[in-house]
Structure 1
Amino acid sequence: MNLTGNWTYPTVIKFGAGRIDELPGACADAGITRPLLVTDKGLADLPITRQALNILTQAGIEVALFAQVDPNPNEINLADGVAAFRDGGHDGVIAFGGGSGLDLGKMVAFMAGQTRPVWDFEDIGDWWTRADAEAIAPIIAVPTTAGTGSEVGRASVITNSQTHVKKIIFHPKVLPRVVICDPELTVGMPKFITAGTGLDAFAHCVEAFSSPHYHPMSQGIALEGMRLVKEYLPRAYADGTDIEARAHMMSAAAMGSTAFQKGLGAIHALSHPIGAIYGTHHGTTNAVCMPAVLELNATEIADRFDKAAAYLGIEGGFDGFRDFVQRLNDRLNVPRRLSEMGVGRDRIDDLTDLALTDPSCGGNPVTLTRENVRALFDKVI
């Protein structure tokens, strides 16, 4: 099977093994001559990052590296990145890495030309119109994990370092102009990152499919995304060099992010404050929360997941699907409770308050209340 393509939905995507070599051409396509490559601290010295920098340098492109990005990036990282962008006279950003590097890189390009604080552009109503759209620098995204799908997203998640609240910052022009999806960049991912990021993609598809909002295109993408994760995440986990599995998982990640234009739900409403307060891995947190949220939503989603289960080759309809999710978590060595990830019960009230204000609440098929959200936290912790 030839797993190569040139896609323009939702943006220009250059997909296929070895396509990192096309990074200089992507810069030309995006109108970038002096890029700032933004990635996280863990990736800064790895061979795949050096490879990307060398490809640009050999093409005569002057590039600089900014890697002061935390696992849950915050406004301090952002301010440092914007300063590096301005001081270096850069005209575009290459957002490189997993969700943290991609999200912060997009925000550096967004905020470099703005005068208002980043919180003024939170994804509330039409707040995005406050931004100077002409001052947003062009973005190229290069994912090195298969999970968040931030490479095809129009928003970033930034944690407020003072309040420990994760905020979604949105603008249509934050969507990268060119995306390079090269599954070879994901080959070196550790098993626990392969599992956590893959289950993040799965959570995006599950929640988009569960959302009550109308978006048939997203519904179809979410369903096929679930199938790809079901078939290929165990393979990628078992053998990190399985390039076919890695490629299909990279597709599933982009599909999950595209699909959740239809909405997210309680899984993300819970995981955002947990990650902000306890610093847990986002995708793994989602995976732990997923079985309990499926159970909460059962009355509203059972019929559609009966059909999904049939498509996915899972016996038992919705109940079979829910059981499959727990078996998949177990197979990938995901903890059954968040207490195993350092999350305590001492801040359940704070977590509940934060979850109820998370914008993901609006896409949950069952209305979220203080009572059912607190009960969910109690169950998953």
Structure 2
Amino acid sequence: MTLTANWSYPTAIRFGAGRISEIAEACAAAGITKPLLVTDKGLADLPITQNTLELLTAAGLGRAMFSDVDPNPTEKNAEEGVRMYRDGGHDGVVAFGGGSGLDLGKVIAFMAGQTRPLWDFEDIGDWWTRADADAIAPIVAVPTTAGTGSEVGRASVITNSETHEKKIIFHPKILPSVVICDPELTVGMPPAITAGTGMDAFAHCLEAYCSPHYHPMSQGIALEGMKLVKDNLLTAYEDGINLEARAHMMSAAAMGATAFQKGLGAIHALSHPIGAVHHTHHGTTNAVVMQQVLMFNRPKVRKHLARAANYLSIAGGFDGFHAFVGELNAKLNIPKNLTELGVKDPQIDQLVASALQDPSVGGNPVKMTVKNTTELLETCF
């Protein structure tokens, strides 16, 4: 089967190996003539990034890059990027990389034309309507990992550098105009990053599937996304140059981020503050707390996940699904608990307070309280 296609849901997606060669066409389709490529420090000098800059240069689109992006990007990174964008007279952003590069690139395009501070656009109520929608610059997104799915998302996660809280910045027009999903760009991912990002995609699909909110389209996407991860993540982890597995994981990542319009839950409510305070890898943190959250939600999701397990060809209903997650984590060499992940001297009360403020809380099947969230977090160590 040839894994190449053009999709228009939820935005224009050019999917297939080698399609980074279409980056100039993608910019033209988005109306960008002078892009700023935004990526992270680790990717800046790699061949995939330099090749993309060469393609932009050859097309007469310049060679501007901003890469001062932290693993958990902050408002300070955003301010510096906006400054470079404005000083360079750019008219759009190529957001290139994993979650950090994609999220920051989207925020730079969003903030470049705004006059209010970033935190005025946090995902609370209708705060997004405060933005001048006409001043949001167009975005072309190019993922180089298969996890966050930020390339098809209408939000970015930015860490407040003063409070060490992860905040979600939302606006419908943060959704990139054009996406290039080229699995060849993910071939160089180290196994540990392949594992962590892949489990992030799985967490998105799992939590969307379990969310009590009504969204049948997301429900179906989440279920098939879980199947793609089950069938392909271990192959991508063990055989990094397997393009078919890499392509299916790239699809699963985009599907997870599309599906979680239905909601996320306790996995993300816990991992956001843990990552913000202790600087852990987001997807890996999701994987570490996943089994404990499944048990926490068991009374509400047992029958629901038994149906999913049946579709995924996992025997044993809910308990079989729970065991499958543990076995997959072990095969991917995911740390067994947060202690092993490197979370030292956790301020449990502080993490719980932040978790209960996280927007993901509203999508958890079991209502999260100070008492039960404290007990849940303690089981993760």
Normalised-by-shorter TM-score class: over 0.9
> Contact conserved, 1:106 with 1:139, CA < 8 A, in 2?
yes
Q: CA RMSD in A?
A: 0.6
Counterparts of 1:59 and 1:344, CA distance in 2: 49
C-alpha offsets along residues 261-299 of structure 1, whole Å, 9 cap, x if unaligned? Answer: 000000000000000000000000000010000001011
Counterparts of 2:319 and 2:345, CA distance in 1: 29
C-alpha offsets along residues 56-95 of structure 1, whole Å, 9 cap, x if unaligned? Answer: 1111211300000000000000000000000000000000
Counterparts of 2:81 and 2:320, CA distance in 1: 46
Task: Tell me the TM-score normalized by structure 2.
Answer: 0.99
C-alpha offsets along residues 158-190 of structure 1, whole Å, 9 cap, x if unaligned? Answer: 000000000000000000000000000000000
Counterparts of 1:230 and 1:180, CA distance in 2: 24
The equivalent of 1:27 in structure 2 is 27
The equivalent of 2:37 in structure 1 is 37
The equivalent of 1:268 in structure 2 is 268
CA shift for structure 1 position 345: 4.3
Counterparts of 1:206 and 1:322, CA distance in 2: 12
Secondary structure at 2:43's aligned position in 1?
coil
Secondary structure at 1:42's aligned position in 2?
helix
> Contact conserved, 1:37 with 1:66, CA < 8 A, in 2?
yes
Matched, 1:252 2:255: no
The equivalent of 1:7 in structure 2 is 7
Equivalent AA in structure 2 for residue 198 of structure 1: G
The equivalent of 1:338 in structure 2 is 338
Q: How do 1:38-187 and structure 2 match up within 5 A?
A: 38-187=38-187
Q: Which runs of 5+ in 1 are unaligned?
A: none
Counterparts of 1:346 and 1:289, CA distance in 2: 15
Counterparts of 1:64 and 1:147, CA distance in 2: 26
Runs of 4+ aligned structure 1 residues displaced above 6 Å come to none
Secondary structure at 2:44's aligned position in 1?
coil
Counterparts of 1:143 and 1:102, CA distance in 2: 7
Equivalent AA in structure 2 for residue 59 of structure 1: A
Equivalent AA in structure 2 for residue 319 of structure 1: D
CA shift for structure 1 position 376: 1.4
> Contact conserved, 2:54 with 2:63, CA < 8 A, in 1?
no
CA shift for structure 1 position 320: 0.2
CA shift for structure 1 position 44: 0.4
Counterparts of 2:277 and 2:69, CA distance in 1: 17
Counterparts of 2:265 and 2:173, CA distance in 1: 25
The equivalent of 1:281 in structure 2 is 281
Secondary structure at 1:314's aligned position in 2?
coil
Secondary structure at 2:373's aligned position in 1?
helix
CA shift for structure 1 position 379: 1.0
Secondary structure at 1:157's aligned position in 2?
strand
Q: Which runs of 5+ in 2 are unaligned?
A: none
> Contact conserved, 1:345 with 1:378, CA < 8 A, in 2?
no
Task: Tell me the TM-score normalized by structure 1.
Answer: 0.99
CA shift for structure 1 position 216: 0.5
Percent identical: 71
Matched positions, count: 381
C-alpha offsets along residues 276-334 of structure 1, whole Å, 9 cap, x if unaligned? Answer: 00000000000001000000101111111111101000000111000000100000000
